Amino acid sequence: MSKMESIPNQPLTPAEFDATKLVLPVVGAVAFVHLLNDLIQAILPAIYPMLKTSYDLSFTQIGMITLVFQLTASILQPAIGLYTDKHPKPYLLPIGMVFTLIGLIMLAVVNSYAGLLIASAFVGLGSSTFHPEASRVARMASGGRFGFAQSFFQVGGNSGSALGPLLAAAIIIPRGQTSVGWFTVFAVLGIIVLFSVSRWVVRTHAALGAKRVATVNHLPRNKVITALAILGLLIFSKFVYMTCLSNYYTFYLIERFHQPVESAQLFLFIFLAAVAIGTFAGGPLGDKIGRKLVIWVSILGAAPFTLLLPYCNLFWTGVFSVVIGLILSSAFSAIVVFAQELVPGKVGLIAGLFFGLSFGLSGISAAALGGLADATDIIFVFHCCAYLPLLGIFTALLPDLNPQHTPDHNPQHK
């Protein structure tokens, strides 16, 4: 726990707290817990085949488990973010992980379908509490390097999502449902880390309260709403296409190139590794060259490769999927920070809205694309989704932002 030992524990006075200084241990701590949180989330779909057999569930019932989880994990996020923007609750972070812990315990011991639904709801509730609050903390500790902090935070989640299915396959599948209890260790660790983070937030809020200056962007309300709608459209294009690759890439390789499952999984792993690298790179690039430019490149810049992908041989399919992963994944951090600058003072609301939107779109589009693949074939799905990054052209309608120099912004960042 050396990471937690380095979090500043001394009381902070207004003179001592420097909002332009990166507090890397705090950013690292929330990124680490993001890994734990998304790892726990990822085990639920990973054990669906086991649950389907154990409880004789239909695909509709499996879908209901996903729906309950997605509703609590995505729809509640903006509401929680809005509430905590007005009424800060620093200790909501460890409390949210307690909900996750309860969900895990229930998932390990329940013996009914209704119990599975309630357990998945608790896991989703913990996630909906964690994301907007942890994103706020990452921004608070960023020292003005908002893109870097958001990317660091997001990579933690990506890593957890990748590790979850692997650990579920290694621990739960061979031993059965009760072995879900082993994952409570991760939840308890997250609670401990987040409690220390919350203590830092309390001290920092006290220091900021005496020296906070209002932050405004001077944009008319209708332009802010239009810009947020455009960002939502870009999130749609990014996450629907990423869902297509993440969920159906292996099926595409098997059907189009007759690859064995093991080979297809290797291609998927390489793609997901590229996504993790691109996610981390997008935020710092936005800090240096401007977030609007990063959004331009990361959405519209992927279009030539997505349009060519369905016509490539196996080698170039692998190469282009890596390029697409690197480019397209760099968008999310830049979009979230851009939106937070559009609506100053609503960090939690914006984080909850965009994280919730990404979760919801991923779940809905996975089901919709699966239905389309059943009605046609997976190759047709890839042809259709190839056009989605062209929606990046709407980035041209986004305003140019010049954040005001306040304690919430790095004076050296323009």
**In this model, does residue 231 exceed pLDDT 70?**
yes
Q: What phi and psi values does residue 302 have, to the nearest 5 degrees?
A: -80, -15
> Mean pLDDT for the chain?
84
Q: Kindly list the distances between the CA atom of residue 55 and the CA atoms of 58, 110, 111, in Å, as whole numbers in the listed order.
A: 9, 11, 8
Query: Tokens 């209901």 correspond to what residue?
Result: 64
Domains (range + CATH), the chain:
21-209 (1.20.1250.20), 221-396 (1.20.1250.20)
400, with CB counted inside 10 A (0-12, 13-18, 19+), is exposed
CB 80 within 8 A of CB 352: yes
pLDDT at 5: 44
CA distance 292 to 384: 27
User: 246-304: per-residue pLDDT in tens?
Assistant: 878 888 998 999 988 778 878 888 888 888 888 888 888 888 888 999 999 999 999 99
The span from the CA of 300 to the CA of 52, in Å, is 40
Q: How far apart are CA 131 and CA 34, in angstroms?
A: 8
Of 118, 98, 99, 119, the residue nearest 107 (C-alpha): 119
- φ/ψ bin of 214: left (φ > 0), alpha (ψ from -120 to 50), beta (otherwise): beta
Whole-prediction pTM: 0.74
243 pLDDT exceeds 60?
yes
Q: Which of 24, 356, 1, 352 is nearest to 190 (CA)?
A: 1
Alpha-carbon distance 383 to 152, whole Å?
A: 33
The predicted-structure confidence for 169-224, as pLDDT tens digits, reads as follows 888 888 989 999 999 999 999 999 999 999 998 887 654 543 444 455 678 989 99
Q: How far apart are alpha carbons 364 and 372 in whole angstroms?
A: 12
State the pLDDT at residue 90. Answer: 85
Measure the CA dihedral 329/333/336/339, to 10°: -100
Mean pLDDT computed over 85-114: 92
Our measurement of the distance from residue 212's CA atom to the centroid of its chain's CA atoms, rounded to an integer in Å, reads 29
Q: Give pairs for 101-104: CB < 8 Å, separation 24+.
A: 101/126, 101/184, 101/187, 101/188, 101/191, 104/40, 104/180, 104/181, 104/183, 104/184, 104/187
Q: What angle do CA 361, 299, 409 make, to 5 degrees?
A: 90
Contact 340, 351 (CB under 8 A): yes
pLDDT digits (tens, 9 = 90+) for 5-25: 456 555 444 444 556 688 889
- The Cα–Cα gap between 375 and 289 comes to 44
